Amino acid sequence: MTSQESGRLAGKVALVTGAGSGIGQAAAMRFAAEGASVATLDIKPELASLTAMMIDKEHEGQSLALVGNVADAVEVETAVELATAEWGRLDVLYNNAGVDSSGSVADAAEDDWDRAFGVNAKGTFLVSRAAVRHMGEGGSIVNQGSVAGLVGVPNFAAYCASKGAVVALTRSMAVDLAPRGIRVNVICPGTVYTPLMEPMLRARGGGDLEAGLAKTLLKYPIGRLGTPDEIANVALFLASDEASFMTGSVITPDGGMTAQ
Ligand SMILES: NC(=O)c1ccc[n+]([C@@H]2O[C@H](COP(=O)([O-])OP(=O)(O)OC[C@H]3O[C@@H](n4cnc5c(N)ncnc54)[C@H](O)[C@@H]3O)[C@@H](O)[C@H]2O)c1
């Protein structure tokens, strides 16, 4: 155990959606390092397995790879059943899976709108609905919003709206689940360099990734983008009992982006 790892999730079972890449992968690894058994759900089988294998290498027997689309109710039910059957309980759910979309309200495609809402908003609802049947006192649900759910980001209409829905859903879930001892909070990160963000950064730079990056950094007082680990740290805190008085909170690890 390193000084960073002190068993903050010892004995707990966590399900992380979109665990195959970026923030979800960082969080799944961090949760396992802090003692949790972690089910890594991803729509891409090879990515779900990759993260599970990475966990298993360091913490044998603490991972379970699950394949499923969070926007599909049947696949979600199956995944949650498999996770709870494996370890007999569920304490932490990180609703991290999400997809990008592009376009302003004037030109966004209807399919993109449906996809953003299907995965980001409905996916959060479906996985939470299946998970809360198995969660009780001390449970923690961490939803993944975005600064795009709090402020307008140019040419991101469907994404902004879907993440705004996640923020509203979080508050509703927090109120409904508080009597059962389950806390629900939402993280709204600023831009983090992951595969999800590359197309957006490229588009912002007129096809030039470096130009898009430079333009984006102007929005960040801290002068850099975030890292997956920095978001995973926040997810870990909210997942752990250290955040026991926090529910319905909107947390913004965003380098000061929304402070301006
Ligand atoms: N990267 C950022 O700058 C940023 C900022 C704010 C919020 N977010 C949010 O954080 C979350 C993770 O983003 P990331 O940057 O790590 O992305 P990423 O693309 O690196 O990882 C997302 C993972 O989710 C999986 N996934 C996608 N659709 C899925 C579905 N329908 N069912 C199950 N799995 C699915 C992908 O296969 C991938 O492994 C997303 O919700 C995103 O909107 C990201």
State both tokens at 101: 């979309």
Whether 81 and 128 have beta carbons less than 8 Å apart is answered as no
* Ligand 1 near 200 CB (within 6 A): no
Residue with tokens 């198995």: 134
Cα–Cα distance for residue pair 240/134, rounded to 1 Å: 18
Ligand 1 centre and the CA of 84: distance in Å? Answer: 23
Give the nearest ligand 1 atom to 48 CA: 39
Which one is catalytic: 94, 159, 193, 220? 159
For position 4, what pLDDT does the model report? Answer: 52
Q: Virtual CA dihedral for 49, 53, 55, 57, nearest 10 degrees?
A: 180
Residue 157 CA to ligand 1 center (angstroms) comes to 17
Q: 184: Cβ below 6 Å to ligand 1? A: no
Helices (H), the chain: 22-33, 45-58, 73-87, 110-116, 123-132, 157-177, 198-204, 209-217, 228-239
* Whether residue 193 lies in the annotated active site: no
Q: What digits encode the pLDDT tens for the residues 151-202?
A: 999 999 999 999 999 999 999 999 999 999 999 999 999 999 998 888 888 9
Residue 231 φ/ψ, nearest 5 degrees: -80, -40
Atom nearest to 228 CA in ligand 1: 16
Q: Give the per-residue pLDDT at 65.
A: 98
Using only C-alpha atoms, the chain has a radius of gyration, in whole angstroms, of 17
Strand partners, 19: none
Helices (H), 42-178: 45-58, 73-87, 110-116, 123-132, 157-177
pTM over 0.95: yes
Residue ranges of the chain with pLDDT lower than 70?
Answer: 1-4
Domains annotated on the chain, with CATH? 13-190+228-251 (3.40.50.720), 193-225 (no CATH)
Mutate to test the pocket of ligand 1, among 194, 201, 219, 254 (most ligand atoms within 8 A of CB): 194
